[in-house]
Amino acid sequence: MITIKEAKTKSEVKDFIKFSFTLYKDNPNWIPPLISDEMESFDKTKNPAFEHAEVKFYLAYRDNKIVGKIAAIINWQEVKEQHKSKVRFGWFDVIDDIEVTKALLEKVYEFGRENNLEHVEGPMGFSNLDKVGLLTEGFDKVGTAITWYTLPYYVTHLEKLGYVKEKEYRESIFPFSNVKVEHFLKASILIKKRYELTTLTFKSTKDVMPYVDKMFDLFNNSYGKLSSFVAVSQSQKEYFKKKYISFINPEYIIFVEDKDKKLVAFSIVMPSFAEALVKAKGSLFPFGFWHLLQARKKSRDVVFYLIGVDPEYQNKGVTALIFEQYYNVFKENKIDMCIRTPELEDNHAINNLWKTFDPVVHKRRATYRKDL
């Protein structure tokens, strides 16, 4: 018999997080999150996403043993401002038993119907800066710190339960040796002169901070037309500044300004923390923090996390300035591999940026939808 219970206490939420560690304990491609980081993300008093999101965490039990989990999410900003009558589900992990999946999803449907919503979509997080999608290809590839790894039967379960693909994403990879400076150096010089642009680089996190609010404003502007986009709020800006910016190498953050000091492009690249997180085993102590610091200093792989260009400057080659700077930094840091995080298949402007580097699509993922 399957029993579904809402995780409400701190102990129950920790059980919710740790179930994934049990499920994937023998899977070398799963990247464990930091338990403390997940606990903070799920804390309604700490994560500003809860200003616009209502969330319930559910655990499935059989014979007093946890066999699955799911978060049911309503992003009221999305519902009210975009008029999308949707309940989301996320942080979905389950054993290979469709009856467990069905029982968990029924709680999501119940939450949606209680609030007069019309369809369900997932997996996705509270906002656009959270993880997204089930893997549909690339199950034999190592994950990243900012994506969910999932098993092939997840898709099978959803399809048997009447779900269809809603949004498709691709993840690509290319060796740094594919990056030839001559491909964009001349363009960078011409574009700087033509549009009177300046590239901003940094040597310390302290110097980055005054620009972060502008960066998120530009993020909202450049991604605003994509499906299911929800703008980053002021409180979320502050939260992400404190939580993440200090972990990113300042030399991997690049901004481009026009002559009036208006930010027109930005890019954030992160060192790969995948190997460090595997070694940390979900905890900063006693050695997890050290492994993360070592990755920050010595990782030979980098993950392109965010890149955005003001709509006024899209298709004008502004990213040549960014790539020129990254070429110099990556060469100095002896980078081997460049990894791209999930990008919507229909985001042609972003996908076209990488053609010069001959990227290989090594993973695909998707969100799935069903009408209630």
CA within 13 Å, CB half, 312: 8
CB-count exposure of residue 208 (10 Å: 0-12, 13-18, 19+): buried
Q: At what angle do helices 234-243 and 212-223 cross, to 10 degrees?
A: 120
CA distance 67 to 96: 9
CB 32 within 8 A of CB 278: yes
Element (H, E) at 6: strand 2-6
CA angle at 247 for the pair 245 and 253, rounded to the nearest 5°? 55
pLDDT digit string, tens, across residues 18-42: 999 999 999 999 999 999 999 999 9
CB 132 within 8 A of CB 342: yes
pLDDT digit string, tens, across residues 284-305: 988 999 999 999 999 999 999 9
Please give the domain boundaries of the chain with CATH numbers for all domains: 2-170 (3.40.630.30), 174-363 (3.40.630.30)
pLDDT digit string, tens, across residues 78-99: 999 889 999 999 999 999 999 9
Chain centroid to CA 15: 23
Token pair 């993922």 in the structure block, residue: 365
pLDDT surpasses 90 at 2: yes
Beta bridge partners of 129: none
Q: How confident is the model at residue 73 (pLDDT cuts 50, 70, 90)?
A: very high
**For residue 368, which of 150, 175, 81, 184 has the smallest C-alpha distance?**
150
Report the chain's mean pLDDT, rounded to a whole number. Answer: 93
pTM score, whole prediction:
0.93
